Amino acid sequence: MLFALAWRVIDHLPQYDELYHFLAARGIRDHGMPVIADGIYDRAELFTWLVAIAIKTLGDSLVAARIPSLLASAGLLMLMTIWVTRRVDLLAGVTAAIVLCLLPATLDLAVFIRFYSLHALLVMGMAIALYEAAAPERTSRQRISLGVLAAALLLLAMHFQVTTLIAFAAVAAGVGAVLPREYWGIALSFVRRHLIWTTAVAVIAVVGGAFASIKLGLLNDFLTAPLWASPSTRRPQYYLFELARDVPLLWPLSPVAFLVAVIFGNRRLTIFCAVVLLFALAVHSIAAAKFMRYVYYALPFLCVIWGCAMSGMYSGLTRIAMRSPELGNRNVATLALLVAAVVLALSQEGQTVARLVAGKLTTDPKAIYEGETDWGPAVPTLRPLLSSADRVVTSNAMKALYYFGRYDYDLNATIVPETLSGDEFGVDERTGRHAISTARSTAQVLGMPGKTMVILEEMRLGNPAGVPADAVETIAERCSVVVVPPAAGLRAWSCPSGKAP
């Protein structure tokens, strides 16, 4: 199902963030380093290498570059399904897989040149290893082996996302919630016997963790957000509303699914997954920067809960039916499954999937790959002008590099704080080029000797997180409009030397 859905949208327009990895992968292919223009993009470098291998093997295209994400999503789907099937039954595993495919974030990230699907796969692997290590039937040797595996996956996941620390804490809380009583008894007995030492270790751990978080800037990163994400900063309910929008049937009914799974299904696995999910959502809801892909690693645990619920419902109804003389067979349970399948097929989640499979790409406009500006129609008009320009100013550095292979100044209020100096004309170390955001800085650039070309996306004009209105006015006063096809969603100007005062 995942491949059928993904193949419909895998050739979508390039999105700003994914071009970082794509362009850096070209740098690896051509120079052996993740070079973009005059800078280095070394975030999640292992993923960039995977993209580089993909475009070298399959061809220099966005579709090829998206294959690693698609394979990671497929790996996550397979790992979760196999684990749930072994721990519960086939019905639970298949249900969990279907629910994961129904989540819009799954498809979004499967065709997105970023590391979120791979990170979710690593977190799921770590969670399974720790859950299995805590299982009562495991031997000491098995526990040690699983613990080493979990530690390796944790370190690897940390390479991609520092929020893996939250994921680890969530999994640890989940394991703690399902530890057998005798283990808790042993732990409490140890604490009572060594109260002073255990208290001292706990205090040192808390104080040391807090100090390290402040020293390494983790606390500051947790409490701050880039300009583009500022609208959600003060919305602790963000993820609750986004999930209700994405899966309006499954999310509101999740508490019911949890109760069914706890009563009739695999109680231990359900409680583990519920704690991991709620812990992760709670912590990320406090964080300043919020976006669905940041918590994607936690969403498969919601799917497992639904798998346990469906299996529990079927087995519960089967037991009731077998005890009732008037029923005497499993027809009631089978009928309930059919009804649930029909309801799901008729829901918004099911209808969205059906439309995609049928080739009707009426996807959610908030999807990662929707609403992007297509620079393609403007390329024939702008390329000759850019080739003769002394400098290029743009509001989207990644697309300027992708479509034209050059830019000099990034006129984007979001990028300026991310430069080395955090101020006007600061250098963006990812590209080695300068970023500006004010009308004064814009006028200064336009006043430089030689011809300046300006290319701005209409969607960013007048946006406080993009191109401020006064900067646009400055450009309009000093430059001549270049007519480009309206379908491109761009505004372009040619600015001769000496226009600025």
Note the pLDDT tens digit of each residue in 359-372.
665 445 456 666 78
368 located within any domain: no
- In a domain, residue 363? The reply is no
Task: Based on the fold, state whether residues 249 and 348 are members of the same structural domain.
Answer: yes
CB 62, CB 14: distance < 8 Å: yes
pLDDT at 4 (0 to 100)? 79
Q: Any residues with CB less than 8 A from the CB of 227 and at least 6 apart, and which?
A: 413, 414, 417, 464, 465
Over residues 111-131, mean pLDDT: 97
* Cβ neighbours around 356 below 10 Å, total: 19
Q: Of 357, 385, 406, which one is at a domain's C-terminal end?
A: 357
How far is the C-alpha of 215 from the C-alpha of 219, rounded, in Å? 9
- Amino acid code (one letter) for 312: G
Please report how many Cα atoms fall inside a 13 Å half-sphere around the Cα of residue 280, on the Cβ side. 29
Whether residue 209 has pLDDT greater than 90 = no
Q: Per-residue pLDDT averaged across 103-120, rounded?
A: 94
In order of 155, 359, 413, 421, the CA distances from 274 in angstroms are 24, 35, 40, 43
The amino acid at 466: G
Q: Is 367 within a domain?
A: no
Does 63 reside within a domain? yes
Same domain, 343 and 397: no
Q: How confident is the model at residue 425 (pLDDT cuts 50, 70, 90)?
A: very high
Give CA separation, 66 vs 12, 32, 100, 121, 369, in Å.
Answer: 10, 20, 19, 16, 12
Beginning with the edge strand found earlier in the chain, give each strand of the sheet holding 426-428 in spatial order: 426-428, 433-436, 409-411, 391-394, 452-457, 490-495, 480-482
Least confident of 66-70, 136-140, 160-164, 396-400: 136-140
Look at residue 365 and tell me if it is in a domain.
no
Q: Which of 304, 327, 357 is the last residue of a domain?
A: 357
> What angle do helix axes 299-323 and 116-133 make, rounded to 10 degrees?
50
Q: How many structural domains are present in the chain?
A: 2
Cα-based distances in Å from 388 to 336, 378, 443: 69, 16, 21
Q: Do 129 and 241 sit in the same domain of this protein?
A: yes
Q: How far apart are CA 258 and CA 274, in angstroms?
A: 8
Q: Which of 307, 328, 357 is the last residue of a domain?
A: 357
Same domain, 327 and 407: no
**Is residue 366 situated within a structural domain?**
no
Residue 260 belongs to a domain: yes
The number of residues making up the chain comes to 501
- By residue range, what is the domain housing residue 9? 2-357
pLDDT given at position 166: 94
Residue 147 has pLDDT above 70, yes or no: yes
Give the single-character DSSP code of 490: E
For residue 149, what is the DSSP state?
H
Cβ atoms within 10 A of the Cβ of 258, count? 22
User: Which token pair is 392?
Assistant: 């290029």
Burial pattern 110-128, b for ≥16 Cβ within 10 A else e, equals bbbbbbbbbbbbbbbbbbb
Q: Answer yes or no: do 208 and 90 share one domain.
A: yes
Tell me, yes or no, whether 293 and 335 share the same domain: yes
User: Chain centroid to CA 129: how far?
Assistant: 23
| Residues 195, 324 within the same domain | yes
Least confident of 61-65, 380-384, 427-431, 461-465: 461-465
173 in any annotated domain = yes
- In terms of domains, do 246 and 333 share one? yes
Cα–Cα distance, 118 to 96 (Å, whole number): 18
Q: What is the DSSP letter of 376?
A: G
Among 149-163, 180-194, 335-349, 447-461, the minimum mean pLDDT is found in: 180-194
Do 345 and 385 lie in one domain? The reply is no
pLDDT of residue 345: 72
Q: How confident is the model at residue 499 (pLDDT cuts 50, 70, 90)?
A: very low
Stretch 245-273: mean pLDDT: 92
Q: Choose the weakest-confidence range: 203-207, 442-446, 450-454.
A: 203-207
Does residue 380 sit in the same domain as residue 303?
Answer: no
Sequence-distant (6+) residues with CB within 8 A of 324 are: none
| Residue 101 and residue 160 in one domain | yes
| Site of tokens 């255990």 | 198
DSSP element (H, E) containing 78: helix 67-87
Q: Examine the domain organization and report whether 258 and 402 are in the same domain.
A: no
pLDDT at 365: 46
